[in-house]
């Protein structure tokens, strides 16, 4: 497959785009990238809606396959281009990664995005202090859970890096870079250091985001 046969659409400062770009790099899969969404627009174009009727990013075209929803894309890439260590074939072992992916999407990311949008992205005069405090509490609870789960093992699903680490791990750069109080969570911090040692993580997740400060639009 040539680089031209694989294309990723989305904003580089989007969490969900970063998950996919990170895995593409981990798998050494060449691709074209088209900025879309936010200031780049293009999501209402008929050609884009034909790929994703919801008009959201990321979207990946891999040859004749067109995919949307970031975790669906991650599973597809792992199944078609990764190895069994990344997303094991045995259903029971695979579920060890899947459960963390689903938890991250349904529980961790909503709490973190409430904090990121409520505090970082909202202009100060418009901030809701009670909602920010609630989001902060939920984030601390969720990252505390991760810290406890990481006691005695280096990665979320066990002894090696898997799909489990990507969705939750994508939020850590901003969690540590935002000027917010954080509890001391040594196992979480060690996991973050292991992620930050991966070149693909540094390239696609550890991206400055200062342009988003106080900016309530995309």
Minimal CA–CA distance to 62: which of 54, 46, 51, 50? 51
107 and 128 both lie in a single domain = yes
Looking at the domain assignment, is residue 212 inside a domain? no
Strands (E), 12-165: 32-34, 59-62, 65-68
194 and 105 both lie in a single domain = yes
Q: Is the pLDDT of residue 3 over 80?
A: no
Q: Are the CB atoms for 174 and 208 separated by under 8 Å?
A: no
55 and 105 both lie in a single domain = no
Could you give the strand order of the β-sheet that contains 32-34, starting from the edge strand earlier in sequence?
A: 32-34, 6-9, 59-62, 65-68
Looking at the domain assignment, is residue 215 inside a domain? no
pLDDT level of residue 88 (50, 70, 90 thresholds) = confident
Looking at the domain assignment, is residue 130 inside a domain? yes
Cα 131 to Cα 30, 70, 80, 88, 183, distances in angstroms: 41, 27, 41, 39, 19
Looking at the domain assignment, is residue 192 inside a domain? yes
What is the percent of the chain where pLDDT is above 90? Answer: 90
Q: What is the dihedral of CA 74, 78, 82, 85, to 10 degrees?
A: 110
Q: Tell me 57's DSSP state.
A: S
Q: Is the pLDDT of residue 2 over 60?
A: no
Q: Are the CB atoms for 170 and 19 separated by under 8 Å?
A: yes
99 and 175 both lie in a single domain = yes
108 and 38 both lie in a single domain = no
47 and 71 both lie in a single domain = yes
Looking at the domain assignment, is residue 22 inside a domain? yes
Q: Are the CB atoms for 22 and 205 separated by under 8 Å?
A: yes
Looking at the domain assignment, is residue 217 inside a domain? no
Single residue among 81, 115, 136 that ends a domain in this structure:
81
193 and 133 both lie in a single domain = yes
Q: What is the CATH number of the domain that holds 26?
A: 3.40.30.10
- Provide the pLDDT for residue 4: 47
Question: What is the total count of domains within the chain?
Answer: 2
Single residue among 49, 81, 113 that ends a domain in this structure:
81
pLDDT level of residue 5 (50, 70, 90 thresholds) = confident
pLDDT level of residue 1 (50, 70, 90 thresholds) = very low
Q: What tens digit of pLDDT does each residue of 32-63 get? A: 999 999 889 999 999 999 999 999 999 999 99
Backbone φ and ψ of 94, nearest 5°: -60, -35
Looking at the domain assignment, is residue 195 inside a domain? yes
For residue 74, give its domain range. Answer: 3-81
Single residue among 58, 81, 104 that ends a domain in this structure:
81
116 and 23 both lie in a single domain = no
Is pTM, for the whole model, over 0.85?
yes
Q: What gap in Å lies between CA 135 and CA 11, rounded to an integer?
A: 25
134 and 169 both lie in a single domain = yes
Look over the chain and give the mean of its residue pLDDT values, rounded to a whole number: 95
Cα 206 to Cα 113, 133, 209, distances in angstroms: 17, 25, 9
Q: What tens digit of pLDDT does each residue of 139-172 get? A: 999 999 999 999 999 999 999 999 999 999 999 9
Q: What tens digit of pLDDT does each residue of 101-129 get? A: 999 999 999 999 999 999 999 999 999 99
Residue 47 tokens read as 């050609």
- Provide the pLDDT for residue 84: 86
Q: Are the CB atoms for 206 and 186 separated by under 8 Å?
A: no
Q: What gap in Å lies between CA 186 and CA 180, rounded to an integer?
A: 17
């Amino acid at each position: 497959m040539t680089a031209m046969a694989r294309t990723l659409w989305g904003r580089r400062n989007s969490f969900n785009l970063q998950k996919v770009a990170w895995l593409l790099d981990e798998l050494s899969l060449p691709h074209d990238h088209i900025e879309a969404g936010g200031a780049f627009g293009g999501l209402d174009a008929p050609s884009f809606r034909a790929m994703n009727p919801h008009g959201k990013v990321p979207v990946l075209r891999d040859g004749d396959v067109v995919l949307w929803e970031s975790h669906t894309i991650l599973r597809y890439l792992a199944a078609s281009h990764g190895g069994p260590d990344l997303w094991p074939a045995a259903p029971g072992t695979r579920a060890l990664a899947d459960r963390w992916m689903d938890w991250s999407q349904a529980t961790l990311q909503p709490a973190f995005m409430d904090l990121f949008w409520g505090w970082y992205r909202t202009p100060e005069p418009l901030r809701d202090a009670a909602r920010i405090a609630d989001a902060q509490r939920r984030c601390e609870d969720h990252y505390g859970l991760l810290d406890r789960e990481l006691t005695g093992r280096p990665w979320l699903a066990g002894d090696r890096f898997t799909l489990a680490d990507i969705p939750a791990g994508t939020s850590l750069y901003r969690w540590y870079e935002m000027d917010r109080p954080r509890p001391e969570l040594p196992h979480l911090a060690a996991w973050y250091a292991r992620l930050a040692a991966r070149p693909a993580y540094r390239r696609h997740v550890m991206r400055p985001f200062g342009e988003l400060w106080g900016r309530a639009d995309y």
